[in-house]
Chain A
Amino acid sequence: MRALRSELLKFRRWSVLAGAGVMIAASAGISYLTFHQITSGATGRELTELIAAFPTTLGLLAVIGQARSLIIVVTLIMVTANVAAEWSQGTLRNLLIREPRRLRLLMGKMAALLLFVTVSGLLTLLVSAALVIGAARSQGISTAAWTSAEAARASLGFAFNEVLCLIGISILGMLIAVLTRSTGAAVGVALAYVVVPEGLVAMVWLDASKWLPVRAFNYLPGSIMPAGIGPTPPQGYGAALILALVWMAGFAAVSAVVFRRHDVVA
């Protein structure tokens, strides 16, 4: 608890708040643009599924879900940079002198970060949803389907799975930071990982890509989305959930072993 409370004090930094602000503003912007595209009569193959889903109970989720890739990337950068900065700034040595139980320190730090990521992720979804609902009402578009009991259940499921996805992404960010121990390298590797290895595997061997971690995390909220918007887990939700949990446990275990044993020379 001490490590958690100590970590929460650090969220007063403008860089941390700016990360959350960017995520909220950019996601709301993307959601609004998607809404605008649909309602302005734009056409195109990539919009077909969205236009079909728009008036249904999953219409709102389909619109605000368009910003999910951005949320994943911003979360990954925020967590990776935050953890790796302890090495780059040399502040890790101060922390370890005051809390030599390394796993306790890492758990406290990650608990605070996960709390922050969860709150900012949910806030992002809420702001985006409020903006789209407000825009729809101002244009006289019915939002009854989006605010129905069925839509509320779907939204809760989506929010739960989105949080799970962001937790997985955060644990991946922690692993990259612990392995690289430098802010620049950690952020670079994190972004490169999402784009290059996962992207390459998806291009050359689509069937294998369904087992990769970022995809597995992304399948969880994607499973709530209308078919065709997804990404729907090809292995089924249960298998995707187990896979995501296994990746999280694996990343956490490797991070813990490395963090516990590594010499702090920064």
Chain B
Amino acid sequence: MVLDPMTSSGTPAITTTGLSKRFGHRNAVDGLTITIPSGAIAGFVGPNGAGKTTTIRMLLGLVRPSAGGATILGRPLSDPKSYLPRVGALVDAPALYPSLSGRTNLEVLAQLSGLPRSRVADVLESVELTDRAKDPAGRYSHGMKQRLGLAMALLPDPELLIVDEPASGLDPLGIIQLRDLLRRLRDQGKTIFMSSHLLGELERVADWLVVLNQGRSLFCGPASGLLVEGANLEATFLGMLRGDR
């Protein structure tokens, strides 16, 4: 797959320009300038504390940038209500109301977004939780909670899916199903921006890669541009952190 940040719609899914976030004296994200093309699975890689989650939170309007800006689905970061209805997200571990059923957890968000109840049934089916939908979410296994979190992200049938460690806690079968789901979504023309520590998994699915370290972008481009000559992502990533590239 050949990717160009400027797609058929003429608009990349995400563009950040000098995006920065400072917490006290610490720069969590430092002048980040990246582009994510529409219709791609973009992997977001970096060590713990590199600023991945902070970047994702800024893109979702949860955290205000200290400097810089971004455009998401052609809309400015400063106006999240203009693009968030078209974005689905899973940030960190899934946050659930443990005493409410999986279905009601989804209904809370569907109601808030003005989505029909039928959408809840659809996403429960897509993450294979229909059978356990009436159980309290607090009784779900870690993997099931993760799948419910993914269902929440898929609820608005998003054009852009932003997911933070979506494979965390999933068993091997769950990871394979997630991979298939992500590919299916991409084939439907959706963009997926996904942070993950599972480099082997990213290598399999990502068309585009962003490598982040200490809040700065070390690489942003097609995965094929980073993984040259049969090198694997793990070795390349470690080399980048050491400064070999």
Q: Quick one: which of B64, B84, B92 contacts A98, CB cutoff 8 A?
A: B84
How far is A217 from B95 in the complex, measured between Cα atoms in Å?
Answer: 35
Q: Quick one: which of A2, A97, A105 contacts B84, CB cutoff 8 A?
A: A97
How far is A95 from B91 in the complex, measured between Cα atoms in Å?
Answer: 12
Which residue of chain A is the closest to B156 with respect to CB atoms? Answer: A98
Say which one of B35-43, B102-110, B173-181, B222-230 lies at the interface with A.
B102-110
Q: Quick one: which of B62, B84, B156 contacts A264, CB cutoff 8 A?
A: B62
Residue A14 CB within 8 A of the other chain: yes
Residue A101 CB within 8 A of the other chain: yes
- Do the beta carbons of B81 and A91 come within 8 Å of each other? no
Q: Please count the residue pairs between chain A and chain B whose beta carbons lie under 8 angstroms apart in the complex.
A: 82
Residue B114 CB within 8 A of the other chain: yes
- Do the beta carbons of B57 and A6 come within 8 Å of each other? no
Contacts A2-B112, A10-B100, A99-B112; A93 near B107 (Cβ below 8 A) = no
Within 8 A of A (CB), among B82-133: 84, 87, 89, 91-93, 95-100, 104, 107-109, 111-114
Contacts A91-B95, A91-B97, A101-B81; A6 near B109 (Cβ below 8 A) = yes
Residue A45 CB within 8 A of the other chain: no
Which residue of chain B is the closest to A264 with respect to CB atoms? Answer: B62
Q: Quick one: which of B80, B99, B156 contacts A14, CB cutoff 8 A?
A: B99
How far is A95 from B99 in the complex, measured between Cα atoms in Å?
Answer: 17
Contacts A9-B104, A9-B107; A96 near B97 (Cβ below 8 A) = no
How far is A78 from B91 in the complex, measured between Cα atoms in Å?
Answer: 27
- Do the beta carbons of B96 and A12 come within 8 Å of each other? no
Residue A3 CB within 8 A of the other chain: yes
Which residue of chain B is the closest to A88 with respect to CB atoms? Answer: B95
Specify which chain A residues have a CB less than 8 angstroms from the CB of B14 in the assembled complex. Answer: none
- Do the beta carbons of B104 and A12 come within 8 Å of each other? yes
Contacts A5-B111, A9-B108; A265 near B57 (Cβ below 8 A) = yes
Specify which chain B residues have a CB less than 8 angstroms from the CB of A100 in the assembled complex. Answer: 61, 80-81, 84
B89 shortest CB reach to chain A, Å: 5
How far is A97 from B59 in the complex, measured between Cα atoms in Å?
Answer: 10
Specify which chain A residues have a CB less than 8 angstroms from the CB of B98 in the assembled complex. Answer: 89
How far is A65 from B216 in the complex, measured between Cα atoms in Å?
Answer: 62
How far is A14 from B96 in the complex, measured between Cα atoms in Å?
Answer: 15
Specify which chain A residues have a CB less than 8 angstroms from the CB of B99 in the assembled complex. Answer: 13-15
Specify which chain B residues have a CB less than 8 angstroms from the CB of A9 in the assembled complex. Answer: 100, 104, 107-108, 111
Contacts A9-B108, A97-B87, A264-B63; A2 near B97 (Cβ below 8 A) = no
- Do the beta carbons of B96 and A89 come within 8 Å of each other? yes
Q: Quick one: which of B63, B87, B92, B109 contacts A263, CB cutoff 8 A?
A: B63
Specify which chain B residues have a CB less than 8 angstroms from the CB of A98 in the assembled complex. Answer: 84, 109, 112-113, 155-156
- Do the beta carbons of B97 and A97 come within 8 Å of each other? no
Residue A197 CB within 8 A of the other chain: no
Residue A139 CB within 8 A of the other chain: no
Residue A43 CB within 8 A of the other chain: no
Contacts A13-B97, A97-B87; A3 near B112 (Cβ below 8 A) = yes
- Do the beta carbons of B96 and A91 come within 8 Å of each other? yes
Specify which chain A residues have a CB less than 8 angstroms from the CB of B92 in the assembled complex. Answer: 90, 93
Specify which chain A residues have a CB less than 8 angstroms from the CB of B95 in the assembled complex. Answer: 89-94
Specify which chain B residues have a CB less than 8 angstroms from the CB of A13 in the assembled complex. Answer: 97, 99-100
* Extra inter-chain contacts (17) besides given A5-B111, A90-B95, CB under 8 Å: A2-B113, A9-B100, A10-B100, A13-B97, A15-B99, A89-B98, A91-B96, A93-B62, A93-B95, A94-B109, A97-B61, A98-B84, A98-B109, A98-B156, A263-B62, A265-B62, A265-B63
Q: List 5 A-B contacts (CB under 8 A).
A: A14-B99, A89-B96, A93-B92, A100-B80, A264-B63
